[in-house]
Amino acid sequence: MGVIQRREERFAHLPVGVRLRDGLSYFASATPARFAVLIFVGLIVVFTVLLLLPGMTADGETTDFADALFTATSAICVTGLSTVNMATHWSELGHVIIVIATQLGAVGVLTLASLMGLVVSRRLGLRQRLLAAGDVNPMALNKGGSSDSPASRLGEVGGLLATVALSALVIEVGVALLLLPRILLEGVPILDALIEAFYFSAMAFTNTGFVFSESGLTPYLDDVWFLGLLMIGVVLGSIGFPVIYALSRNLKLRKIKSNRQARWSLHVKLTVVTTVILLVLGAAAFSILEADNGSTIGGRGPFHLGFQALFMSVMTRSGGFSTFDIGDLNNASLLVTDMLMFIGGGSASTAGGIKVTTIAILFIAAFAEARGNASMEAFERKIPGDVLRLAVSVVLWGATTVALSSIILLQLTGDSLDRVLFDVISAFGTAGLSTGFTASLEDPGKYVLTATMFMGRIGTVTLAAALAASQRRQLFTRAEERPIVG
Amino acid sequence: MGVIQRREERFAHLPVGVRLRDGLSYFASATPARFAVLIFVGLIVVFTVLLLLPGMTADGETTDFADALFTATSAICVTGLSTVNMATHWSELGHVIIVIATQLGAVGVLTLASLMGLVVSRRLGLRQRLLAAGDVNPMALNKGGSSDSPASRLGEVGGLLATVALSALVIEVGVALLLLPRILLEGVPILDALIEAFYFSAMAFTNTGFVFSESGLTPYLDDVWFLGLLMIGVVLGSIGFPVIYALSRNLKLRKIKSNRQARWSLHVKLTVVTTVILLVLGAAAFSILEADNGSTIGGRGPFHLGFQALFMSVMTRSGGFSTFDIGDLNNASLLVTDMLMFIGGGSASTAGGIKVTTIAILFIAAFAEARGNASMEAFERKIPGDVLRLAVSVVLWGATTVALSSIILLQLTGDSLDRVLFDVISAFGTAGLSTGFTASLEDPGKYVLTATMFMGRIGTVTLAAALAASQRRQLFTRAEERPIVG
Ligand SMILES: [K+]
Ligand SMILES: [K+]
């Protein structure tokens, strides 16, 4: 009550427009988690309605509600799973609408994640704090003044949104222009090729993985240039905005030959190192497990095997493209993919999953415990103990969501755990790869998987923010007691 | 070097016997994890050799090495999985040897777990500390003097071993005597009935789950008395020695009508509450998921459904008996069972898994994070932050073991994840339930599952002890930095 009154007094003399803006900003920063959920639910409702219009389908028929909701959610959450054939079911206009949805979803989640995970929750200046996490010298910027009035806060949100959108545009256009010549080589007319190049680039950077052309990836299955560009797009999208910012800052410093030492923040180092480790481990695992599987990537020489295994490994980060039928993978490879998709990509990125820093924190904790260190450390920095609690919360949330969704879908369909768990984790981690299970679902199953996609995309981000935001003061201390563990 | 020299000097004047005893005790307390592994490896080797003798089999043939090793490991680790028909493959003598192995394994692991988890690692007096964890008033006993000389330590180990063995004997004989009349009712001769009653009781309390009689559980499938007693035996075995000690102490206090308030330690409360929650959740899940499955527990009325669901739920704690073919469970029930078996039973118990307190700590951490509390709390006690690190380490170890074993076995056999994951987690959590996958294994697969049983039984216990023991002093502090998580 006191807070609200004070706010009323402070703003009473301002014009209505400013008050509305400040009110919105206040709501966004006071309950960032609820704000994020509202925005995403709103976007999904709008795009479901749009996709239900008759002009959206190739044959002019109205799409089933369950399929429209599923597609809208899959697009907004940049998941990439589909219950209809994405290339043939929708009209040209439908494709445009879906691409717009993925762009809004990707930029929206990038911005929200950046805002919430880093900033609003800790009650600090938005932009400073976000840039600090990706900055070359975090110690200096951390002490930068934070302007905390609602008006300046909304200005910061706007600035951040613009920066994120601009980065996305620059990368997507860059990748599209590099893809273009290769598509022209296939004899595609220039305008169609431009659209196709941009579609592929957007689906890669946003980590969606929809394929809109009827031939799909078929012409480029062995093309190192084409697949390589898709990989770069997916990695840049999945590594997270703070890391992209740090990399571009680094590039700038080098260009002007600055003498300032380019230092990466702990977050950037952790993300980059864990991502590289996961990519290498994934590629190695797929190379070994699929070496003899001629239906997927085996039996065509070591270069083909290694390159395709790396492509597959990158796509689990949560790109979602595939050069073969995922259902043909050995069951062991499906399990490896499950694990990689569950981990997902970087924080404040277009990728999903519990995030690479989360798993890194768990291993750092175990390592510290094994060495008997009193504190968790990485790259000569100490990591506060409450970060581990946050990581454990995110993993428990993810495991619970995946378990519940799997149990319900197993019981609904009677399908095998191999197929169900794969598509559920793909939905949760917004990876978008599928064994074919998703396409076989009836309406109740589609709704369960829609909910799983939403939980996976919104859950970890808002959970982390909501938890980080709710710092209570302890009024008294308890006697300490140690239970046995393990 | 310094430590060894000082020890030599201290003991030089003592007789050889005492020096040997003290040396053994010193080794046991200096490297408790290695000591435990050595003891278990030794026992497995001895019993493998014994089971390879021709007189051990019913038909007089020598057992295959892989099967003898598997059976010895399964018995010593009280897992209960088998690659041969336990009732028909072995001779009477073979059965006796296997029961002895399970008794040694159960009492051994109880003692070692109690010793290591609680005592040696923290460099405190053995018996005091152990009893404290199960005691009615831990605060008073924690301050009890600890006698720390090697000789008194070995005395304490002996005392503890005796206490554990006595408890095991009392409970096993008690349950056996209550089972006896029911077995006699089946018309079994008195001597055979006595042996059978003791076998069932021992297999329940040690949480092994082998069935030696050819008719198996068939005569008792609907018998509330018989199955109820098995459940009591399994729960008492799986809840852990500290809890049993607290319960018996409580009973004693009530008997003498003491005015001392009977207070349970945090460990006892956490274990009991989490066990009850898991039993109820498991029974509810099986009731719902199997209600329509006539091959398992469905279609025979609500009492049958509820009782059998509870029995199944108790057996996942890691009893391993089953009243129907596990392979007939719905896939959703298999996944639920996987989760329950992975968690397992109480610390310092005959049960396996990551232990109920471990999962409780994770949820308490997430709950504290959600409420924004600075410290983890349960039952009006504060839990030290390093307990969470230990819990995370144990879970990571378990997840890694299960994942690696599953990937290898999936690739070796090409079987489905439903069946492979179930038997792998059953081996890791020493539950002993099987979909039939274990019996279908070739030799390489048997070795992988043998290793999984060993890792599951010895791993969590020694890991927790080894980690808790390795407390290093920090020589300098690092600058603190907070990565983004989730
Ligand atoms: K995706
Ligand atoms: K068992």
A470 touching chain B per CB within 8 A: yes
- Do residue B365 and residue A392 have CB atoms under 8 angstroms apart? yes
Q: Which of B358, B481, B486 lies at the smallest CB-CB distance from A347?
A: B486
Distance B426 CA to ligand 2 centre (A): 8
Whether B445 maps to a domain, the answer reads yes
Chain B, nearest residue to A467 by Cα: B370
Report which residue type is found at B52: L
Q: Is A21 exposed, middle or buried (0-12, 13-18, 19+ CB in 10 A)?
A: middle
Give the model's confidence band at A188: pLDDT under 50 very low, under 70 low, under 90 confident, else very high: confident
What's the whole-number mean pLDDT along residues B65-91? Answer: 91
Q: How many Å from the N-terminal Cα to the C-terminal Cα in chain B?
A: 47
- Do residue B369 and residue A390 have CB atoms under 8 angstroms apart? yes
- Do residue B347 and residue A486 have CB atoms under 8 angstroms apart? yes
What's the whole-number mean pLDDT along residues A386-394? Answer: 84
Q: Which of B356, B321, B361, B322 is nearest to B339 (CA)?
A: B356
Position B202 scores a pLDDT of 85
A101-134 pLDDT per residue, tens: 988 888 777 666 666 544 433 433 444 444 444 4
A320-329 pLDDT per residue, tens: 888 888 888 9
Residue B460, pLDDT > 80, answer no
Give me the residue label for tokens 């009323």.
Answer: A8
Position B138 scores a pLDDT of 32
Give the percent of chain B with pLDDT over 90.
Answer: 27
What's the whole-number mean pLDDT along residues A408-412? Answer: 94
Q: Which of A323, A337, A334, A336 is nearest to A295 (CA)?
A: A323
Position B115 scores a pLDDT of 62
Give the model's confidence band at B141: pLDDT under 50 very low, under 70 low, under 90 confident, else very high: very low
Distance B197 CA to ligand 2 centre (A): 18
Which ligand sits closest to the CA of B350?
2
Give the model's confidence band at B135: pLDDT under 50 very low, under 70 low, under 90 confident, else very high: very low
Whether B106 maps to a domain, the answer reads no
A65-91 pLDDT per residue, tens: 999 999 999 999 889 899 998 888 999
Q: Which of A207, A189, A190, A176 is nearest to A78 (CA)?
A: A207
Distance A240 CA to ligand 1 centre (A): 14
Query: Which residue would you say has higher pLDDT here, A466 or A213?
Result: A213
Position B149 scores a pLDDT of 45
A286-315 pLDDT per residue, tens: 999 988 888 888 878 888 899 999 999 999
Q: Return d(Cα A465, Cα A112) in angstroms, integer.
A: 10
Please say whether the beta carbons of A376 and A385 come within 8 A: yes
Position B1 scores a pLDDT of 37
Q: Which A-chain residues 50-89 have CB contacts (< 8 A) with chain B?
A: none
| CB-based contacts of A283, cutoff 8 Å, min separation 6 | A306, A309, A310, A312, A313
- Do residue B416 and residue A411 have CB atoms under 8 angstroms apart? no
Q: Return d(Cα A43, Cα A186) in angstroms, integer.
A: 36
Distance B448 CA to ligand 1 centre (A): 35
- Do residue A355 and residue B486 have CB atoms under 8 angstroms apart? yes
- Do residue A339 and residue B403 have CB atoms under 8 angstroms apart? yes
A414-461 pLDDT per residue, tens: 999 999 999 999 999 988 889 989 989 999 999 999 999 998 887 766
Distance A400 CA to ligand 2 centre (A): 26
Which ligand sits closest to the CA of A344?
1
Residue B215, pLDDT > 80, answer no
Cα of A6 to nearest chain B Cα, Å: 25
- Do residue A372 and residue B472 have CB atoms under 8 angstroms apart? yes
What's the whole-number mean pLDDT along residues B275-301? Answer: 90
Query: Which residue would you say has higher pLDDT here, A155 or A167?
Result: A167
Structure tokens at B466: 């080894």
Position A261 scores a pLDDT of 52
Q: Which of B115, B271, B356, B485 to mutate to test the interface with A (most CBs of A within 10 A)?
A: B485
Give the percent of chain A with pLDDT over 70.
Answer: 75
Position A473 scores a pLDDT of 45
Whether B47 maps to a domain, the answer reads no
Query: Which residue would you say has higher pLDDT here, B160 or B445?
Result: B445
Chain A, nearest residue to B351 by Cα: A486
Residue B407, pLDDT > 60, answer yes
Whether B415 maps to a domain, the answer reads yes
Q: What is the enclosing helix (H) or strand (E) of B377?
A: strand B376-378
C-alpha neighbours within 13 Å on the C-beta side of residue A247: 13
Q: At what angle do helices B224-239 and B150-185 cross, to 10 degrees?
A: 170
Q: What is the dihedral of CA A373, A378, A382, A387, to 10 degrees?
A: -100
- Do residue B118 and residue A484 have CB atoms under 8 angstroms apart? yes
Enumerate the residues of chain A whose CB falls inside 8 A of the CB of residue B267.
481-484
Q: Return d(Cα B250, Cα B261) in angstroms, integer.
A: 10
Which ligand sits closest to the CA of B433?
2
Cα of A115 to nearest chain B Cα, Å: 11
What's the whole-number mean pLDDT along residues B379-384? Answer: 80
Residue A264, pLDDT > 60, answer yes
B144-185 pLDDT per residue, tens: 333 344 444 455 566 667 777 788 888 889 999 998 888 888
Query: Which residue would you say has higher pLDDT here, B223 or A484?
Result: B223
B344-366 pLDDT per residue, tens: 988 878 888 898 988 999 998 88
Give the model's confidence band at B72: pLDDT under 50 very low, under 70 low, under 90 confident, else very high: very high
Enumerate the residues of chain B whose CB falls inside 8 A of the CB of residue A362.
392, 396
Cα of B196 to nearest chain A Cα, Å: 33
Residue B405, pLDDT > 90, answer yes
Position B386 scores a pLDDT of 76
Which ligand sits closest to the CA of A203?
1
The helix, strand and coil proportions of chain B, stated in percent and rounded to the nearest 5, come to 70, 0, 30
Q: Which of B393, B418, B474 lies at the smallest CB-CB distance from A417?
A: B418
Chain A, nearest residue to B465 by Cα: A486
Q: Return d(Cα A138, Cα A134) in angstroms, integer.
A: 8
Cα of A355 to nearest chain B Cα, Å: 5
Query: Which residue would you say has higher pLDDT here, B417 or A226?
Result: B417
Q: What is the enclosing helix (H) or strand (E) of B378?
A: strand B376-378
Position B223 scores a pLDDT of 84
**How many domains are contained in chain A?**
1
Position A403 scores a pLDDT of 95
Report which residue type is found at A2: G
Please give, one letter per residue, the 3-state secondary structure of chain A.
CHHHHHHHHHHCCCCHHHHHHHHHHHHHHHCHHHHHHHHHHHHHHHHHHHHHCHHHECCCCCCCHHHHHHHHHHHHCCCCCCCCCHHHHECHHHHHHHHHHHHHHHHHHHHHHHHHHHCHHHCCCHHHHHHHHCCCCHHHHHCCCCCCCHHHHHHHHHHHHHHHHHHHHHHHHHHHHHHHHHHHHCCCCHHHHHHHHHHHHHHHHCCCCCCCCCCCCHHHCCCHHHHHHHHHHHHHHHHCHHHHHHHHHHHHHHHCCCCCCCCCCHHHHHHHHHHHHHHHHHHHHHHHHCCCCCCCCCCCCHHHHHHHHHHHHHHHHHHCCCCCCHHHCCHHHHHHHHHHHHHCCCCCCCCCCCCHHHHHHHHHHHHHHHHCCCCEEECCEEECHHHHHHHHHHHHHHHHHHHHHHHHHHHHHCCCHHHHHHHHHHHHCCCCCCCCCHHHCCHHHHHHHHHHHHHHHHHHHHHHHHHHHCCCCCCCCCEECCCCCC
Q: Which B-chain residues 304-363 have CB contacts (< 8 A) with chain A?
A: 330-332, 334-336, 339, 347-348, 354-355, 357-358, 360-363
Whether A442 maps to a domain, the answer reads yes
Chain B, nearest residue to A483 by Cα: B267
Integer CA distances (angstroms), B189 to B148, B176, B215, B216, in order = 53, 15, 15, 16
ipTM of the complex: 0.84
Residue A26, pLDDT > 90, answer no
Q: Which of B368, B388, B486 lies at the smallest CB-CB distance from A461?
A: B486
Give the model's confidence band at B371: pLDDT under 50 very low, under 70 low, under 90 confident, else very high: confident
Chain A, nearest residue to B338 by Cα: A403
| CB-based contacts of B195, cutoff 8 Å, min separation 6 | none
What's the whole-number mean pLDDT along residues A361-373? Answer: 83
Q: Is the dihedral of CA A302, A307, A312, A317 positive or negative?
A: positive
Q: Which of A407, A409, A484 to mutate to test the interface with B (most CBs of B within 10 A)?
A: A484
User: Which residues span the domain enclosing A414?
Assistant: 356-467
Please say whether the beta carbons of A355 and B328 come within 8 A: no
Q: Return d(Cα B192, Cα B200) in angstroms, integer.
A: 12
Taking the whole predicted model, whether its pTM rises above 0.80 is answered as yes
Q: Return d(Cα B481, Cα B22) in angstroms, integer.
A: 47
- Do residue B365 and residue A393 have CB atoms under 8 angstroms apart? yes
- Do residue A485 and residue B133 have CB atoms under 8 angstroms apart? no
Query: Which residue would you say has higher pLDDT here, B297 or A278?
Result: A278
Give the model's confidence band at B106: pLDDT under 50 very low, under 70 low, under 90 confident, else very high: confident
Q: Look at strands B376-378 and A479-480 and give their pairing.
A: unpaired
Residue B452, pLDDT > 90, answer yes
Lowest-confidence segment of A4-13, A127-136, B308-317, B388-397 by average pLDDT? A127-136
Position B421 scores a pLDDT of 95
Cα of B50 to nearest chain A Cα, Å: 31
What mean pLDDT, rounded, does chain A reach? 79
Q: Which of A366, A482, A483 lies at the smallest CB-CB distance from B396?
A: A366
Enumerate the residues of chain B whose CB falls inside 8 A of the CB of residue A429.
none
Q: Which B-chain residues 129-148 have CB contacts (< 8 A) with chain A?
A: 133, 138-139
- Do residue B335 and residue A417 have CB atoms under 8 angstroms apart? yes
- Do residue B369 and residue A363 have CB atoms under 8 angstroms apart? no
Residue B120, pLDDT > 50, answer no
Residue A402, pLDDT > 90, answer yes
Position B461 scores a pLDDT of 65
Residue B61, pLDDT > 60, answer yes
Choose the most confident range, by mean pLDDT, from A295-299, A324-328, B30-34, B278-282: B278-282
Distance A384 CA to ligand 1 centre (A): 32
- Do residue A366 and residue B415 have CB atoms under 8 angstroms apart? no
Give the model's confidence band at A476: pLDDT under 50 very low, under 70 low, under 90 confident, else very high: low
Position A453 scores a pLDDT of 92
Q: Which A-chain residues 382-411 have CB contacts (< 8 A) with chain B?
A: 382-394, 396-397, 403, 406-408, 410-411
- Do residue B347 and residue A388 have CB atoms under 8 angstroms apart? no
Residue B320, pLDDT > 60, answer yes
Position B372 scores a pLDDT of 73
| CB-based contacts of A388, cutoff 8 Å, min separation 6 | A361, A362, A365, A376, B365, B388, B389, B392
Q: Residue B140: how many CB atoms within 10 A of its CB?
A: 12
Structure tokens at A73: 């959610």
Give the model's confidence band at B83: pLDDT under 50 very low, under 70 low, under 90 confident, else very high: very high
B412-425 pLDDT per residue, tens: 999 999 999 999 99
Cα Rg of chain B, angstroms: 23
Lowest-confidence segment of B24-33, B36-45, B398-407 by average pLDDT? B24-33
Query: Which residue would you say has higher pLDDT here, A284 or B383?
Result: A284
Please say whether the beta carbons of A462 and A37 come within 8 A: yes
Whether A414 maps to a domain, the answer reads yes
Residue B131, pLDDT > 80, answer no
Distance A472 CA to ligand 2 centre (A): 44
Residues with CB under 5 A from ligand 1 (ion): A 80, 207, 209, 318, 320, 432
Whether A397 maps to a domain, the answer reads yes
Q: Which residues of B28-48 are buried (b: 16+ CB within 10 A; e: fewer)?
A: bbebbbebbbebbeebbeebb
Give the model's confidence band at B409: pLDDT under 50 very low, under 70 low, under 90 confident, else very high: very high
Whether A401 maps to a domain, the answer reads yes
